[in-house]
Each structure stands twice: as C-alpha cells, then as structure tokens.
C-alpha cells in the first residue's frame, strides 16, 4: 500500500515536471519561430534583392536560433532545444520568402504570427514523434 502511494506520488511529480518542460518547450519554440521569421522579414524589408535577402536572412535566422538555443540549453537541455528549434528556424523564415516570391508581402504582424504558428506546429510534431519513438523502442526492444 505504502509502495503504491509512493509510486503514485513519484508519477505525479514526473507528470508535473513533464508538463513544465512542455510549457518551456512551447514558449521557446514560439520565441524562436517569431524571432527567426522576423529576421527574414527584416532582410526582405532592407531591399537587398530576393537572393541576397534569402541567403542573408537564413544565415541571420540560424544565428538567432543558435544563440537562443544556447541560452536555454542549461534549462531545457542542449539537444532538446537545438534540434526542434533548428527545424523552426529553417522552415519558418522560408515561408516568408515563399510569400515574397509569389508577390504577397506579409507585414511584421503576419510574419510574427507565421513564426508563432510554426513554433506550435513543430511542438505538435515533436509530441507526436515522441509518442511514436516510445512505441518504436517498446516494439523493437520488448524488454523496455
């Protein structure tokens, strides 16, 4: 009975910690999405020409993402912050480029909203893939 109670307390604690990390991941990915996308938007607003804006904007967005990931690494973990934020900072700024390429120029707010949406989208992908990974390890190595 005592063991069951301590197991339940432990599980509750683990659940609470997992929820806190999920919240941390969500905030971080949204911030990365918004800032990297706004960086690309800024590169287009500087009228460098499409190719230069694309390459320069991508390089700057990746620098922004790397700095942010290094900043939160002690709290969220180095790989746990670096890998998903890299996806956000690669895909989200490209969406702004794609809009510019088709002649639809998004404003700052739209670009920011796009970045936030990509951040949330990546978080959803990470959550789904985490479940799939747990299932894979359980099937491939049944001892787990």
Partner 1 sequence: MSRIWAWRAKFYDVCEGSQLRRGPHKAALFQEMSGRVLFEAVGTGVDIQHFPPGRDITAIDISDEMLRRARPRAERYRGRLELVRMDAQHLSFPDECFDTVVTACTMCSVPDPHRALREIHRVLRPGGQLLMFEHVRSRNRVLGLALDLMTIWTRWSGTEMNRDTLRNVQAAGFCITRVESVYLDIILSIRAEKMEKLRRPASARGKHGDVVRI
Least Å distance, CB 137 to partner 1, is 5
Least Å distance, CB 56 to partner 1, is 18
Pick 30 or 87: Cβ nearer partner 1: 87
Pick 71 or 98: Cβ nearer partner 1: 71
Pick 21 or 48: Cβ nearer partner 1: 21
Contact 56, 115 (CB under 8 A): no
94-102 contacts, C-beta under 8 A, 24 or more apart? 94/40, 94/58, 95/37, 96/37, 96/40, 96/41, 96/44, 96/57, 97/40, 97/44, 97/50, 97/53, 97/54, 97/57, 100/44, 100/50, 100/53, 101/50
Least Å distance, CB 138 to partner 1, is 9
Pick 14 or 52: Cβ nearer partner 1: 14
Least Å distance, CB 65 to partner 1, is 11
CA-CA distance, 141 to 144, in Å (whole number)? Answer: 6
Q: Using CB under 8 A as the criterion, which residues of the chain lie in contact with partner 1 when the complex forms?
A: 14, 17, 21, 70, 73-80, 82-83, 86-87, 90, 126, 129-130, 133-134, 136-137, 140-141, 143-144
């Amino acid at each position: 009975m005592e063991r069951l109670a301590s197991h339940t307390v432990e599980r509750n604690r683990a659940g609470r910690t997992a929820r806190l990390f999920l919240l941390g991941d969500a905030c971080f990915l949204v911030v990365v999405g918004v800032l990297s996308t706004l960086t690309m938007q800024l590169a287009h607003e500087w009228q460098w020409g499409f190719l230069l804006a694309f390459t320069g904007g991508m390089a700057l967005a990746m620098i922004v993402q790397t700095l942010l990931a290094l900043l939160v690494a002690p709290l969220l973990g180095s790989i746990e912050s670096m890998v998903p934020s890299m996806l956000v900072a690669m895909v989200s700024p490209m969406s702004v480029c794609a809009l510019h390429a088709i002649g639809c120029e998004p404003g700052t707010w739209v670009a920011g909203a796009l970045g936030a949406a990509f951040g949330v989208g990546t978080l959803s992908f990470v959550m789904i893939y985490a479940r799939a990974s747990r299932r894979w390890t359980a099937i491939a190595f049944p001892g787990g």
